[in-house]
Amino acid sequence: MDFERRNADLRTLHRRNYALGVVVAVQAAGLLGLIAIVAGLIDKERTLVVPPQISQSFWVTNGAASSSYLEQMGGFVAWLVLDVTPASIDWKKDTLLSYVEPSQHGVLKARQEVEAERLKRLNASTYFSPQQLAPNAERQQVLVIGRLRTLINGQETANEQKTYRVAFEFNGGRTQLKAFEEVNDARP
């Protein structure tokens, strides 16, 4: 009788070990599946970054942004640089510099300080009316096309069609201004 009882206990233990082995195998398969999913998400992370004013939906990944984001940020940067008065140039310059890529910070800061001094000396204002924003998602830049009015002592001295290229770089989910320059004969 002890022999039969021992055999029954062994069979019970074998069944339990088999059931535990099945549970471990299912858990291992689930873990491998999760590892595959996580590995697939690496470098595909989308960081939600909010521009100063939201007018359309957009997305930003590890090193790039959607065309709608480029349009919104390009218009914002153009407003900071081109739509200035002697009273607003200083705070707009400081706001702009908070978006500038570190390698371009000194150059753009010097350029904006010279422009601020010139505007104050001449009592001049510039007003930019964007007419078209042409983003290029591959290059992470946008062409901003519009009319630039210049007033000196309240008298209009210029009203010209201008095109500016605004280039961005995205590091660690942060938007950085790489370049802002006037371009000639640029077609979107």
pLDDT in tens, 111-132: 999 999 999 999 999 999 999 9
Query: For position 52, what pLDDT does the model report?
Result: 58
Kindly tell me if the per-residue pLDDT of 177 is higher than 60: yes
| Sign for the pseudo-dihedral over CA of 54, 60, 63, 64 | negative
Query: For position 50, what pLDDT does the model report?
Result: 53
Q: What DSSP state is assigned to residue 65?
A: B
Q: Please, are residues 150 and 24 in contact by the beta-carbon 8 Å criterion?
A: no
**Residue 111: how many CB atoms within 10 A of its CB?**
14
pTM of the model: 0.67
Q: How confident is the model at residue 46 (pLDDT cuts 50, 70, 90)?
A: low
Query: For position 55, what pLDDT does the model report?
Result: 57
Closest CA to 50 of 183, 180, 175, 176: 175
Instruction: Tell me the sheet residues that pair with 177.
Output: 100, 168
Query: For position 159, what pLDDT does the model report?
Result: 92
